[in-house]
Structure 1
């Protein structure tokens, strides 16, 4: 890893490119009427993905960048679930046909904060309004500290096929600094419960760049995770943006590793996982050789969406819940972020859409290029542009940032194909950003590129 490249590009604040355009481009110009029209015109028979946001936790993890609310009481959760059910029925009523479902994802917050009975009821409601099949995949994000045997059984009974467990770090010093105390035993017990319930896909989330984190503690955490044999691991860099997430102010900034240390942590985690037999997927995911993600990457079918790298190839994502984002061929629609405002909209009989974005043809070209770069570390600009009847010179000609990256040896451009050096995949977001037409127009703070 070249020190000069890291020094030049590592501190850049860039999007993670789980969508394009990114969320800062969303505006109130797209609202309930536009989203309602998009729903009404969804093609019959086309599979859709569903995302359900459960924005509640029992305690705040200080590193968290998600939209969540802390509650010790069950009443706010139960009230929210009532609203969520209303929204599911309301949205389904606007879709002319009972559409097949490819993937379902429960995110949070902590989706398993709800009771097992409530989870089963939600799944039953979705099956009532949408067409599930034996191939429908259902994934749930889980905090291992609160997963009961009863909930694990309910997840299995509901047909959940993948569970994503938050681990972050097993170092007790780091855990104290981020207000998340979680033992290896708790994590192992949750993993065993899920497998006993018939849930075959187990993901672990790890984070580097946390306060007081060291190379040694990263290796120890990765090694402990490997011993539990998860099928996949996602390894994210901590994004410290206290102006955006005020609870991050509880973290002592002087205890955070610098860019060089962050990169070394990412490197040793990757090396530890690869040495244990995991394949690296894209920028920050790892999977065992037989996993669908590996097969998708080898076949050039890997995708990237709001949940990260995925095999989900549905063109439509319908988002339910406060802050949830939906994606259609025409654009993006995001619900009200605050649970109270979200509930008010649904109670009034209106969709909860607060803002969104209508895609242009050029957006589609740039989105595909960025997705291929993030997934494959290369993109055939000429072929992608040809499919859209778009002139490649509009993207390659005069692209000074791309040319600079080429001069720095990070990539090469030949015959209309951009290829990123294997040694420089850690700055792939900087490459993707050269095709982002809106990046300089956003005042939003992003995470570090490395």
Structure 2
């Protein structure tokens, strides 16, 4: 039965639902002028999050699905940071002192490609331009291979509270196949430096479904990583989309595991982490029981945004940098993707917004249902619809996707409550898609669900 569900639903191209509607629904109809109006309409004392995208790396990992540029020189990075600082000025000048910052996330690329003093200066600028709340979380994505002692110390001095380290796999055969050679010692040294700098939250990213990867090597990688005792793990399935990411063509497709093997690898990693005391959270996250993410999951307060599962409940997210996506209460916005075009817009004194989406009342309803499904594997559709002023019957009537999932025994629907069985959690994206009004046009652009 489970194998049949994997074959039917697990390999469908579906969104990861880090937003709703998802990015393919964004349109140039929402541009810089609209974003400026939305920023100006944010209510005083709004709690918000900041995201800063640093789209540079020293080398290309062939599995990568991010927007990044490879450079061995520092000049492009310095020029980009100048533009980032100017964008911070543009946005803060528009929104004034109305934002209270609860979360900050530096993503990439490799954010720690900056020099230590550049990172410190950027943090100080953010603190000067926005009101940081007491205990605000500051998270940074890190490549352990390039983290220097000085940078680790600077992160601690700047108040960073959480670091996400890319690990992916410790199998040398897999590492060679994805062009990312990273030893256990490099990773352990990075963890030690970060902890010495006072950073208490360490996250590891692992990937299954990589070329030449086996279930045994996935288990061995998980055990090696567990010995370093990070507070959280994110375990993602490799999304092979060479038509969108041309560098992925360097990966030997013949060496990629099939759907059944991917599912086996994912569950083997899950079992290994759970046996070591980690709590399974949502589709692909794991945390120690006392970690804030695990606490939020237990209390039904887990959320999902562009960084994945989170404790961040803010509905306002200000994105800075090329390709960054943000959200205001009115809708979503995305900046120019190529760093050069982004820089041109900012240098001319304009916001860099190139497209976006204005939310409707129905969008907010469906987003709420999808978030609860993705976080809790359960959604009281009737109650959620009532809160939004809608009749839930319209969400069930003629819902062929949901009916098929029921018929296959993947979900239960009773009294307007949709529940996904724990042993079928791997198809949660297919369940969420049953409430996605735009799925037929968007699915072609998304990664496979397994």
TM-score under structure 1 normalisation? 0.99
Alignment of 1:7-156 (within 5 A): 7-156=7-156
Which position in structure 2 is the counterpart of 1:334? 334
Partners of 1:358 and 1:167 in 2: CA distance: 37
Q: Summarize deviations over 1:135-189 as a string: whole Å, max 9, x none.
A: 1000000000000000000000000000000000000000000000000000000
Aligned length: 450
SS of 2:99's equivalent in the other structure is coil
Partners of 2:36 and 2:29 in 1: CA distance: 14
Partners of 1:444 and 1:202 in 2: CA distance: 35
Asked if 2 retains the 8 angstrom alpha-carbon contact of 1:80 and 1:339, the reply is yes
Structure 1 alignment gaps of length 5 or more: none
| Alignment pair present for 1:272 and 2:280 | no
Partners of 2:304 and 2:330 in 1: CA distance: 18
How far does residue 255 in structure 1 lie from its aligned partner after superposition? 0.4
SS of 1:100's equivalent in the other structure is strand
How far does residue 237 in structure 1 lie from its aligned partner after superposition? 0.1
SS of 1:418's equivalent in the other structure is strand
Asked if 1 retains the 8 angstrom alpha-carbon contact of 2:13 and 2:443, the reply is no
Structure 2 alignment gaps of length 5 or more: none
Which position in structure 1 is the counterpart of 2:173? 173
Q: Summarize deviations over 1:45-85 as a string: whole Å, max 9, x none.
A: 11110000000000000000000000000000000000000
Asked if 2 retains the 8 angstrom alpha-carbon contact of 1:206 and 1:234, the reply is yes
Partners of 1:25 and 1:65 in 2: CA distance: 19
Asked if 2 retains the 8 angstrom alpha-carbon contact of 1:239 and 1:446, the reply is no
SS of 2:269's equivalent in the other structure is helix
- Identify which range, 126-135 or 238-247, moves more after superposition: 126-135
Partners of 1:444 and 1:36 in 2: CA distance: 32
Q: Summarize deviations over 1:255-311 as a string: whole Å, max 9, x none.
A: 000000000000000000000000000000000010111111111100000000000
Asked if 1 retains the 8 angstrom alpha-carbon contact of 2:138 and 2:161, the reply is yes
Partners of 1:398 and 1:25 in 2: CA distance: 23
How far does residue 445 in structure 1 lie from its aligned partner after superposition? 2.6
Partners of 2:66 and 2:247 in 1: CA distance: 11
Partners of 1:234 and 1:364 in 2: CA distance: 27
Asked if 2 retains the 8 angstrom alpha-carbon contact of 1:98 and 1:129, the reply is no
Which position in structure 1 is the counterpart of 2:257? 257
How far does residue 5 in structure 1 lie from its aligned partner after superposition? 1.1
| Alignment pair present for 1:235 and 2:227 | no
- Identify which range, 91-100 or 368-377, moves more after superposition: 91-100
Q: Summarize deviations over 1:96-140 as a string: whole Å, max 9, x none.
A: 324210000000000000000000000010001101133100000
Partners of 2:282 and 2:143 in 1: CA distance: 25
| Alignment pair present for 1:345 and 2:345 | yes
Partners of 1:441 and 1:409 in 2: CA distance: 26
Partners of 2:80 and 2:448 in 1: CA distance: 34
Which position in structure 2 is the counterpart of 1:209? 209
How far does residue 28 in structure 1 lie from its aligned partner after superposition? 0.2
Which position in structure 2 is the counterpart of 1:224? 224
Which position in structure 2 is the counterpart of 1:418? 418
Asked if 1 retains the 8 angstrom alpha-carbon contact of 2:43 and 2:98, the reply is no
How far does residue 443 in structure 1 lie from its aligned partner after superposition? 6.4
SS of 2:165's equivalent in the other structure is strand
Q: Summarize deviations over 1:202-239 as a string: whole Å, max 9, x none.
A: 00000000000000000000000000000000000000
Asked if 2 retains the 8 angstrom alpha-carbon contact of 1:236 and 1:284, the reply is yes
Which position in structure 1 is the counterpart of 2:383? 383
Which position in structure 1 is the counterpart of 2:438? 438
TM-score under structure 2 normalisation? 0.99
RMSD over equivalenced CA pairs, Å: 0.8
Partners of 2:394 and 2:443 in 1: CA distance: 25
Q: Summarize deviations over 1:17-69 as a string: whole Å, max 9, x none.
A: 00000001111010011100110111111111000000000000000000000
| Alignment pair present for 1:4 and 2:4 | yes
Asked if 1 retains the 8 angstrom alpha-carbon contact of 2:241 and 2:248, the reply is yes
How far does residue 315 in structure 1 lie from its aligned partner after superposition? 1.1
SS of 2:43's equivalent in the other structure is coil
Which position in structure 2 is the counterpart of 1:308? 308
How far does residue 3 in structure 1 lie from its aligned partner after superposition? 1.2
